[in-house]
Amino acid sequence: MSKSSIKAALLQVHSVIGLVLALLWAVVGVSGATMAFEDEIQAALNRDVMRVDASAARRLTPDELVARLQTAGDFGKVSAVTMASDPTAAARIRFARSEGGTRPSSVYVDPYDGHLLGSPRGGEFFATVRKVHRWLLLPGDGNGYGRKITGAAAICLIVMLISGLVLRWPHRARSVRTWLKPNLSLRGRGLHRSLHAVIGTWVLPVYLVTALTGLTYSYEWYKAGASWLLARPSATAATMPSKAPRRAADAAKADASAEAKPLGFDRVWSTFLEQQGDRYGRALLTLPAGTGTVVRVRSWPRGSSLDTARDEFRIDAVTGRLASADIYADKTFGERVLASVLDIHRGAILGWPGKLVFMLAAALMPLFTVTGLLLYLSRRRHRRLARPPVATLVPGE
């Protein structure tokens, strides 16, 4: 097979996949760009409810905060509490889903006296954008088929990146100008091709990273394969050594206590402080969704801007016993990569400049939808005009 025939076949594959998925990629790209600086936007919108005046008074424990909030009204069953070491940061309380499947908006409370500060603005908007980005607002959310569609689109995007790179490989491959400078003096099809090819080269590394990391959220087999490749064999089963087993009577007493009243946070909080001291910057305590008694605690260090660079503890809410601890600093390089997939996916691993670059690349996705469609229509028109005219018979001949 000749080089020209291979390129012709690749162009056909590139065109067909692009026509089918261009609009979907544009939606995913724009929604991803919208979420790039979500944390910063939320902080700016909700400064009045997220910040308090520092005080010398003792800050309330998680259970005390929940009790104060419940006296202010019926907000629903509490599912999680976020505590911060910053004396000017408000505490955040989240609620469990109702029987209808809806989740009430979380609220911020003053950590010193527990009075209600308000609900964050913009949360519902970003939650909807996130659903669009991850599963296209299709039924079932993360358990539906929207997740598989976006995963298939990510695989096809990798095919598009590779085929596009091969198709635009120039005769003067070492010419930086050919690769990276669009020819804005052109018009029509030439300009569309230049923009499509050159800007596509600019964003190719970003799109490749986002596609490869995004697949971990769509396919369990891909996530398992990445874990097998990067993590230690015992990493998923590693737990902190537990203390001596409790006697049967103590266990029965703890189970009876758990059934007698709802789980609280204070014993978990005390154990967590014993483990972390003042090293934490923010901690999220999440009650179990089922009937268990083990609370998950996620802890971010002071000054950390990465969402995935965190320690994770599991602590029994009844006994205060530490069940396990997963310390970020103890991870190997491969395990840190796995833990940081989300930050890599959105460019946050490189700080705000990385987030800005990834945001701009995602926002440019509609450009390829438009220029790709224009190039396809131009090729069709060119082929139609290049066809030899069909001879017609004159009546009587």
Tell me, what's the pLDDT at 389?
Answer: 61
CA atoms within 13 A on the CB side of 267: 17
pLDDT for position 289: 84
Nearest to 371 by CA among 138, 148, 197, 249: 197
Q: Average pLDDT by consecutive 10-residue portion of the chain (397 residues)? A: 80 92 96 95 93 93 94 86 95 86 87 94 92 92 90 96 86 67 88 92 96 95 94 61 44 48 89 91 92 93 86 95 93 93 94 96 96 90 70 49
Residue 228 CA, distance from chain mean position: 21
Taking the C-alpha atoms of 145, 147, 149 and 151 in order, what is their torsion angle to the nearest 10 degrees?
A: -150
Residue 258: the pLDDT is: 46
pLDDT of amino acid 104: 85
Spell 226-265 as b/e; 16+ CB within 10 A means b: bbeebbeeeeeeeeeeeeeeeeeeeeeebeeebeeeebbb
3-state helix/strand/coil string of the chain: CCHHHHHHHHHHHHHHHHHHHHHHHHHHHHHHHHCCCHHHHHHHHCHHHHECCCCCCCCCCHHHHHHHHHHHCCCCCEEEEEEECCCCECEEEEECCCCCCCCCCCEEECCCCCCEEECCCCHHHHHHHHHHHHHCCCCCHHHCCHHHHHHHHHHHHHHHHHHHHHHCCCCCCCCHHHHHCCCCCCCCHHHHHHHHHHHHHHHHHHHHHHHHHHHHHCCHHHHHHHHHHHCCCCCCCCCCCCCCCCCHHHHHHHHHHHHHCCCCCHHHHHHHHHHHCCCEEEEEEECCCCCCCEEEEEEEECCCCCCCCCEEEEEECCCCCEEEEECHHHCCHHHHHHHCHHHHHCCHHHHHHHHHHHHHHHHCHHHHHHHHHHHHHHHHHHHHHHCCCCCCCCCCC
Q: What is the pLDDT of residue 103?
A: 80
Give yes or no for a contact between 320 and 304, defined as CB atoms under 8 angstroms apart.
no
The answer to whether 118 and 48 have CB atoms below 8 angstroms apart is yes
Tell me what pLDDT residue 262 has: 75
